[in-house]
Amino acid sequence: MLLSAQAPAPADKPVLVPDVSQRDIEIAYSFTGAELLLFGAILYPGGRLPRGEAPTDIVVVVKGPTQPVLVREKKKVAGIWVNAEHQRYSSVPSFYALASSRPIERIVDERTRAIYELGLDSLQLSPGSNSAITVEQGFQRGLVDLKRRAGLYLEAPHAVEISEGVLYRARLTIPARVPVGRFTAETFLIRDGRVLAAAVREIDIRKSGFERFVARAAERRSILYGLAAVVLSVGLGLAAGWIARRI
């Protein structure tokens, strides 16, 4: 007699239900930055919190559209600063912000951070040359440091608050110099170093008013935009000279 036993089905995993306070952010001439609230809920199987298990962590990553970047190293030769070596990257996030319930290195190991790009040290920027690892790492550290000092890259450990093990929220600051484009807000639910669930929400950041008109004109009618800029500069110069002679 052959006996067959059905293996028990694995327990359902929890589900994230994230949201953001602003899906659309408009940049006008008076834009000085914005505060983005990221919040949501954790839905557990059966609606019950797991008992006897390690507490969960929440990590939220906000990324801007990627862009190619050329990084140059300056060296002082005979008292003059000149461009020396350079490194080209093909997919650099224009903006990167990470908020977590604990420091990210205490939540996941280095391999998991690299897979999900959790943390500034784990960004995959796709270098365009076959430079030595030490050289490439030096350029990447310099690029990340420049972005961090410009306010475009940041990490905020302990910025995520989890209430009753179900609700969470985090606040991130969008700087005034933020680039425009479609951003993504990725939320990760992590327990014991494993990513249990992930969800994504999109955020559109765009210019509005006169700034939007100028940006579109420069992008769609670059020749006319350049000619208009030259004519305007010459006109302002002539007007300034005429006023100076009259005074």
229 and 117 in a single domain? The answer is: no
- Residue 6 located in a structural domain: no
Reading phi first (left if > 0) and then psi (alpha if -120 to 50, else beta), residue 80 is in: beta
Q: Is residue 5 part of a domain?
A: no
Q: Which of 90-99, 124-133, 149-158, 211-220 has the lowest mean pLDDT?
A: 211-220
Helix (H, G, I), strand (E, B) or coil at 30: coil
**pLDDT tens, 190-220?**
999 999 999 999 999 887 655 555 555 556 6
246 and 203, same structural domain? no
pLDDT at 15 over 50: yes
**Same-domain status, 155 and 226:** no
Name the residue with higher pLDDT: 73 or 35.
35
Q: Does residue 216 share a domain with residue 202?
A: no
What is the spatial distance between Cα 208 and Cα 227, in angstroms, rounded to a whole number? 23
Q: Domain holding 110: CATH number?
A: 2.60.40.1930
Number of domains the chain is built from:
2
| Strand pairing report for 34-43 and 15-20 | antiparallel
Assigned token pair, 235: 């006109």
Q: What pLDDT is stored for residue 136 in this prediction?
A: 82
The verdict on 99 and 221 lying in the same domain is: no
For residue 126 the two structure tokens come to: 């796709």
Q: Could you tell me if 161 and 243 lie in one domain?
A: no
How many other C-beta atoms are found inside a 10 Å radius of the C-beta of residue 171?
A: 15
Taking phi over 0 as left and psi of -120 to 50 as alpha, with beta for the rest, 93 belongs to: beta
Residue 9 neighbours by CB under 8 Å, 6+ apart? none
Q: Is there a domain that residue 1 lies in?
A: no
- The amino acid at residue 66 is T
What are the pLDDT digits (tens) for 43-63?
988 777 777 677 899 999 999
CB 179 within 8 A of CB 65: yes
> Is 9 part of a structural domain of the chain?
no
pLDDT of residue 210: 52
How far is it, in rounded angstroms, from Cα 39 to Cα 46? Answer: 22
* C-alpha count within 13 angstroms, C-beta hemisphere, residue 6: 3
Q: Answer yes or no: is 87 within a domain.
A: yes
Q: Could you tell me which residues come within 8 angstroms of residue 122 by beta carbon, excluding any fewer than 6 positions away?
A: 110, 113, 114, 116
Q: Are residues 60 and 96 in the same domain?
A: yes
Same domain, 103 and 186: yes
3-state helix, strand, coil in the chain (%, to 5): 30, 40, 30
Q: How far is CA 58 from CA 53, 75, 124, 233, in A?
A: 16, 43, 21, 52
